Amino acid sequence: MHETPHPLIDMRFYYQAVQYLHDRVTGDDKTDFEHLILKSDEHWKAYVDIVKIWSMSGELIVPESEGDRPWHMLVNRLSNEREKEKESIKKSVEKDFFYYSQKRHSPVQSVVAVFIGVILLLLFIYYFQQSATLPVSLTNEEPTLIEITTAKGERVTLRLSDGTTVVLNSDSKLITPDRFKENQRQISLEGEAYFDVRHFEDYPFRLIAGNTMTTVVGTRFNVRERKGAVQIVVEEGCVDVMEIHNEKQRVATLLSSGDMTVYNPKDGLMHVSPVNTDDYLAWRFGRLVFCEASIVEVFDEIERTYDVNYILIDPALEKRKLTGQFFQEQLDDILQDIALAMDLHIERRGKSIKIYP
């Protein structure tokens, strides 16, 4: 039987994506591909599917050319692997809750046969679409709370029992019931996560982060909670954000697409401003984006992303700022660029980084 790939995962798109992930495109070609994957939800999802396969297997082949199409090898291998994969994913779907981890890998690990990556891709898309049709899972019984944590250098994608998708960033924790009880959809977050909330008009989705509660019906947004400060960026739809422990003033702040609010735990204020959401969601693509960020903010993010530890030798360095972005780059290359941009001397030994003026 003839198998067809994802409508946007033709070999040309796959070739471009793999070259891009391996940082082998520059200049206008790189810009054109970035515009392509942000052109529509379909293009973005197709690109993310390829990234997910890389994150699950740690491997992606670099095709010899755009015309390299060994689909007949794919079909033979797919028929042998389908039953085993189906049984594994079936068990996960029966639990109405599953996740996979995403860790950084060296480009050296990316040399593997192309049909294995495509097989995994087709299987993932097929079963993801199957599970996406599941109705909201409600129960009268007391649900069991599940705690999902990510280590430094790790990202996790979860699918909740209502069909909501969560991408949990490094060094973060999510607490959620295994199934939502009746009309209660509420979870809590420490750290950072991106949410694609499945729409149910009668069942609002509530997220507790720090001293805030965000309420949505169905939308896509990002929440970042670090040391009590909460940043919320809305990619699509609307959300209400409220300070949950302020009895005198519990007025919800309304955010629409393209809005960001930052909750300051010291004064309880929420400041709303329009932003370029791509900069705040870039971490899902493995990109670090900094805009007038302090050296502490920069290296806190590097510490979480690359599973390292850093020491500022001179506290006066905290006043320095950095604007720039890095995508799927080796840590030593990033440190070299930061040292040049901020006039620093940076010494790295294993997981230890020391920063000198």
**pLDDT tens digits for range 32-82:** 877 777 666 677 767 766 665 554 444 445 444 444 444 334 334 434 444
**Mean pLDDT of the residues in the chain:** 75
CA atoms within 13 A on the CB side of 137: 21
**pLDDT band, very low/low/confident/very high, at 109 (cuts 50, 70, 90):** very low
| CATH 3.55.50.30 corresponds to the domain 286-356 | yes
The CATH number, out of the four listed (3.50.50.60, 3.40.50.300, 3.90.1330.10, 2.60.120.1440), of the domain defined by the range 138-279: 2.60.120.1440
Cα dihedral 253, 255, 259, 262 in deg (nearest 10): 30
Beta strands in 197-333 (DSSP E): 205-209, 212-216, 220-226, 229-236, 239-243, 253-255, 259-263, 270-274, 287-294, 309-312, 321-327
Closest CA to 59 of 99, 16, 26, 22: 22
| Predicted pLDDT at 27 | 75
**pLDDT tens digits for range 144-192:** 888 999 999 888 888 888 889 999 999 999 999 888 876 789 999 999 9
Instruction: Give me the residue spans of the domains in the chain.
Output: 11-95+105-132, 138-279, 286-356
| Predicted pLDDT at 310 | 96
| Predicted pLDDT at 84 | 47
Say whether pLDDT at 132 is over 50.
Answer: no
**pLDDT tens digits for range 199-239:** 888 889 999 999 999 999 779 999 999 988 999 999 999 99
